[in-house]
Structure 1
């Protein structure tokens, strides 16, 4: 998937290891596109490639606006952003801080 993002001219691609942080997925990929059109095109390409690789129905959110598109590829979650939206939500910081918060249990 990283090679495909590179081929699609994705910018600032970051992979975040989620093992031990959540059961949602094993990894998160965060990347930026230059515009809503670029984000939408990258999302379409990723979904097509996932289907060709055998993932019958990848879940996609945000494709109508293309400011932030989330693609759930089972073990990997892909976030595609316009740069301004990515800066605002700053998922890389959120997940890096989450790795340092100790889990607590209610007594």
Structure 2
């Protein structure tokens, strides 16, 4: 998905993602700033759902909200199994997991860039 260039558009998209996940009762949402650290996106958001059904529902609703707000479709991968769903919204990459799958892959540690992970995030 093409990335926006204006910082206010990036922050609006980031806020939309966080708000959507909060509305859908995502668990342990973490946002990792990537600006200046990676060319793939400005933010990576990682969250969990309590079941594959919740993960799939959160992903579909988030993609619909992104399309409605920005006019740009988000790319989704992993929806059929919904153990780990990736939503590529351009400037914001979202990973939605079932808790067991999230702890196995531990993306927070991989992308921490030497920073200590926030307490309470497995």
Q: In structure 1, list runs of 5 or more residues that go unmatched.
A: 101-107
Is the contact between residue 8 and residue 42 of structure 1 (CA under 8 Å) also seen in structure 2? yes
Mapped partners of 2:20, 2:89: distance in 1: 14
Tell me the distance in 2 between the aligned counterparts of 1:22 and 1:62.
23
Tell me the alpha carbon deviations over residues 45-64 of structure 1, each in whole angstroms, 9 at most, x when there is no partner.
00000110124221111011
Which of 10, 15, 18 is the matching residue for 2:31? 15
Q: Kindly indicate whether the alpha-carbon contact (under 8 Å) linking 1:55 and 1:73 is maintained by their aligned counterparts in 2.
A: no
In structure 2, the residue matched to 1:36 is 52
- Do the aligned residues in 2 keep the contact of 1:24 with 1:75 (CA within 8 Å)? yes
The count of residues paired between Structure 1 and Structure 2 equals 98
SS in structure 1 at match of 2:44: strand
Matched, 1:78 2:94: yes
Q: Distance in 1 between matches of 2:82 and 2:19?
A: 21
Q: Give runs of ≥4 in structure 1 deviating > 4 Å.
A: none
More strand by share: 1
- Which of 56, 66, 77 aligns to 1:61? It is 77
Listed as ranges, the gaps of 5+ residues in structure 2 are 1-16, 115-122
